[in-house]
């Protein structure tokens, strides 16, 4: 029997441990969803064979990735799209599909060798895509445990993505409806700064966008007093 850790602070990964424990009852899977619990001391209690990282917004400390096999799941066809906000950067560039890359954590961000890749469609809201990605990642974890693939060095032209800031969610400069639709949906997930526009007195946030056949957009709006 082996122990495995699932590291994610996002709600759409909450059921991943339960699913994996049902699929592989001979092993134990433990969820860590808080930065304060992700320490060498806490990991020493679990002694995981592998730490799987579906979604984590913090740097993995050297004393962890040097002592444990850490595998992060990155939502681009690496080495294209290293860096922050991969989903948003992909949609903003017009991509409709991508790869989820399972890579070994090393010192350089998203530069580690690759265990495997799987395809992922980029349709729907960001949260719907993350839920779909969670299903893909579950299958990838099972494959890694069962088949034990050897990671291979990344090959190809490197493209670096920059992490988005909250000010980039402003829709004021967008001039085309399809681009506006993509802008709203790519930010429509837990923990992300929603697409918005401001007046002198109010901030208006948009979610649940629908692109209509008459070339209009219907969306929910939340109005906040500044």
- Give me the CATH number covering residue 215: 3.10.25.20
- Contact by Cβ (8 Å): 186, 179: no
pLDDT for res 129: 97
- Contact by Cβ (8 Å): 126, 186: yes
Tens digit of each residue's pLDDT (9 = 90 or more) over 72-100: 999 999 999 999 999 999 999 999 999 99
pTM above the 0.85 mark? yes
Assign residue 70 the CATH number of its domain: 3.40.50.170
Q: Are residues 22 and 127 in the same domain?
A: yes
- pLDDT, the chain, mean: 96
What is the average per-residue pLDDT within 166-176?
A: 95
What is the average per-residue pLDDT within 123-130?
A: 96
Pairing of strands 69-74, 97-104: antiparallel
Give the residue numbers spanning the domain of 82.
Answer: 3-161
What is the average per-residue pLDDT within 29-49?
A: 95
- Domain boundary pick from 161, 189, 206: 161
Q: Are residues 8 and 110 in the same domain?
A: yes
Task: Please give the angle made by the CA atoms of 77, 54 and 41, to the nearest 5 degrees.
Answer: 130
d(CA 8, CA 21): 16
How many domains, the chain? 2
What's the maximum distance between 2 C-alpha atoms anywhere in the chain? 61
């Amino acid at each position: 029997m082996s122990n495995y850790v699932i590291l994610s602070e996002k709600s759409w990964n909450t059921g991943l441990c339960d699913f994996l424990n049902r699929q592989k009852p001979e092993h134990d899977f433990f969820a860590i969803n808080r930065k304060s619990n992700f320490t060498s001391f806490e990991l020493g209690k679990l002694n995981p064979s592998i730490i799987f990282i579906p979604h984590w917004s913090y740097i993995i400390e050297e004393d962890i990735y040097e002592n444990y096999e850490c595998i992060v799941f990155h939502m681009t066809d690496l080495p294209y799209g290293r860096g922050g906000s991969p989903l948003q950067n992909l949609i903003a560039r017009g991509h409709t599909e991508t790869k989820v890359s399972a890579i070994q954590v090393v010192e350089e961000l998203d530069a580690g060798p690759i265990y495997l890749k799987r395809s992922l469609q980029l349709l729907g809201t960001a949260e719907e895509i993350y839920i779909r990605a969670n299903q893909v990642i579950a299958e990838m974890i099972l494959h890694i445990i069962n088949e034990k693939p050897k990671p291979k060095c990344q090959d190809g032209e490197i493209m670096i993505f920059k992490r988005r800031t909250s000010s980039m969610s402003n829709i004021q400069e967008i001039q085309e409806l399809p681009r506006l639709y993509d802008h709203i949906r790519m930010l429509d997930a837990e923990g992300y700064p929603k697409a918005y526009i401001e007046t002198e007195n109010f901030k208006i946030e948009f979610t649940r966008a629908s692109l209509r056949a008459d070339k209009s957009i219907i969306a929910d709006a939340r109005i906040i007093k500044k």
